[in-house]
Chains A and B, each alone.
Chain A
Amino acid sequence: MHAGCLPKKIMKTKNMKNSAIISVSNLKKYFSVTKGAFLKKNIGQVKAVDGVSFNINRGETFGLVGESGCGKSTLANMLLGLLEPTHGRICFEGEDITRFDKKAWFHFRRNIQAVFQDPFRSLNPRKKVKQIIGEPLIVHKVGSKKMIRERVAELLDLVGLDPNSLESYPHEFSGGQRQRIAIARALSLEPKVIILDEPVSALDVSIQAQILNLLIDLQKKLGLTYLIISHDMAVVEHISTNIGVMYLGNLVELAPCETLYRDARHPYTRALLASIPVADPEDIKSVHLEGEVPSPLNPPVGCAFHPRCDVCQQECSVQPPRMVEVNPGHLVCCENFFKR
Chain B
Amino acid sequence: MALMKLTPINLTPINRERWNRFKANKRGYFSLYLFGILFVITLFSELIANDKPLLIYYDSQVYCPLITEYAETQFGGEFEAPADYTDAYIIDKINENGWMINPIIPFSYNTINYKLDSPAPSAPSRTNWLGTDDRGRDVVARLLYGFRISVLFGLTLTFFASAIGIVAGAVQGYYGGLVDILGQRFIEIWSSLPTLFLLIILSSVVQPNFWWLLGITLLFGWMSLVGVVRAEFLRGRNFEYVTAAKALGLSNVKIIFRHILPNAMIASITFMPFILGGSITTLTSLDFLGFGLPVGSPSLGELLAQGKANIQAPWLGLSTFAVLSIMLSLLVFIGEGVRDALDPRKNY
Which residue in B240, B250, B254, B262 is a CB contact (below 8 Å) of A122?
Answer: B240
Indicate if the CB atoms of A121 and B247 lie closer than 8 Å: no
CA distance A110 to B249 in the complex (A): 8
| Closest beta carbon of chain B to A54's beta carbon, Å | 21
B206 at the binding interface (Cβ < 8 Å): no
Note all chain B residues with C-beta closer than 8 A to A117: 240
**A122 pairs with B248, CB closer than 8 A:** no
Please give me the residue from chain B that is nearest to A115 by CB atom. B244
Asked whether, in the complex, the Cβ of A136 is within 8 Å of the Cβ of B248, the reply is yes
Q: How far is the CB of A68 from chain B (nearest CB, A)?
A: 16
A279 part of interface (Cβ distance < 8 Å): no
- Scan A108-146; emit 1 where CB is below 8 A from any B CB, else 0: 011001101110011110100000000110011000000
Asked if A3 CB lies within 8 Å of chain B CBs, one says no
Is A82 an interface position by the 8 A CB rule?
yes
Which B-chain residue is minimally distant from A188 (CB atoms)? Answer: B248
A121's partner among B181, B241, B249 (CB-CB below 8 A) is B241
Known pairs A117-B240, A121-B241; A106 contacts B249 (CB<8 A) = yes
**If the complex has contacts A124-B259, A126-B262, A139-B254, are A109 and B239 also in contact, measured as CB distance less than 8 A?**
no
Whole-angstrom CA separation of A117 from B239 in the bound complex: 12
The answer to whether A82 and B248 touch across the interface, beta carbons within 8 angstroms, is: no
Q: Shortest CB–CB separation between residue B182 and chain A, in angstroms?
A: 10
Residue numbers in A under 8 Å from B246 (CB-CB): 82
Q: Contacting A114 at CB < 8 Å: which of B247, B251, B254, B262?
A: B247
Residues of B within 8 A of A123 (CB): 241, 244
Question: Contacts of A109 on B, CB cut-off 8 Å?
Answer: 247-249
How many residue-residue contacts, CB under 8 A, span A and B?
Answer: 50
Residues 34-91 of A contacting B (Cβ, < 8 Å): 37-38, 80-82
* B contact residues around A105 at 8 Å (CB): 249
State whether the Cβ of B325 lies closer than 8 Å to any Cβ in chain A: no
- Residue in B240, B245, B254, B259 with the greatest tally of chain A CB atoms within 10 Å: B240
A214 to B23, CA, bound (A): 47
A200 to B16, CA, bound (A): 35
**A-facing residues in B173-218 (Cβ within 8 Å):** 181
A interface footprint on B226-256 (CB within 8 Å = 1, 0 otherwise):
0000000000000111011111111100100
Given contacts A121-B239, A139-B254, contact A116 B244 (CB under 8 A): yes
B200 to chain A, nearest CB (A): 36
Supposing A37-B181, A126-B262 touch, asked if A139 and B241 sit within 8 A by C-beta, the answer is no
Q: With the chains together, A139 CA to B250 CA distance in Å?
A: 6
Does B249 lie within 8 Å of A136, measured CB to CB? yes
C-alpha gap A182/B181 in the complex (Å): 35
Inter-chain CA distance A22–B285, complex, in Å, is 67
Residues from chain B with Cβ under 8 Å of A140 in the complex: 249
A185 at the binding interface (Cβ < 8 Å): yes
Closest to A105 in B: B249
* Cβ proximity bits B247-272 to A, threshold 8 Å, 1 near / 0 not: 11111001000010010000000000
A181 CB to nearest chain B CB (Å):
11
- Contact: A116 with B240, CB < 8 Å? yes
Chain A residues, Cβ within 8 Å of B239: 121
Q: Name which residue of chain B comes closest to A121, CB basis.
A: B240
| Distance A114 CA – B249 CA, assembled complex (angstroms) | 11
- Tell me if B244 and A122 are in contact (CB < 8 A): yes
Quick check: B248 and A135 within 8 Å, CB to CB? yes
**Closest beta carbon of chain A to B347's beta carbon, Å:** 11
Expressed in whole angstroms, the minimum distance between the Cβ of B258 and any Cβ of chain A is 8
Known: A82-B246, A124-B241. 20 other contacts (CB 8 A): A82-B243, A82-B247, A109-B247, A110-B249, A116-B243, A117-B240, A118-B240, A121-B239, A121-B240, A121-B241, A122-B240, A122-B241, A122-B244, A126-B262, A135-B248, A136-B249, A139-B248, A139-B249, A139-B251, A182-B244
Q: Can you report 19 A-B residue pairs in the complex whose CB atoms are below 8 A from each other?
A: A109-B248, A113-B248, A114-B244, A116-B243, A117-B240, A118-B240, A122-B240, A122-B241, A122-B244, A123-B244, A135-B248, A135-B250, A136-B248, A139-B248, A139-B249, A139-B251, A185-B244, A185-B248, A189-B248
